[in-house]
Amino acid sequence: MAKQKDKQKLIANNKKAFHDYFIEESYEAGIALHGTEVKSMRQGKCSIKESFIRIENGEVYVYGMHVSPYEKGNIFNKDPLRTKKLLLHRYEINKLAGKVAEKGLTLVPLQVYFKEGKVKVEIGLARGKKLYDKRQDIAKKDQRREAEKEFKVKNL
Pairing of strands 52-56, 59-63: antiparallel
Whether the CB-CB separation of 91 and 50 falls below 8 Å is answered with no
pLDDT by position in tens, the chain (length 156): 445 555 788 888 888 888 788 888 889 999 988 777 888 888 888 888 888 888 888 899 999 888 877 777 666 666 777 888 889 899 988 888 888 887 778 888 998 898 888 888 999 888 887 777 778 878 888 888 888 877 777 776
Task: List helix spans (H) across 5-126.
Answer: 15-20, 35-42, 90-100
pTM of the model: 0.73
User: Which helix (H) or strand (E) covers residue 82, if one does?
Assistant: none
- Name the residue among 98, 90, 111 with its Cα closest to residue 28: 111
- pLDDT of 75 reads 67
- Alpha carbons within 13 A on the beta-carbon side of 155: 6
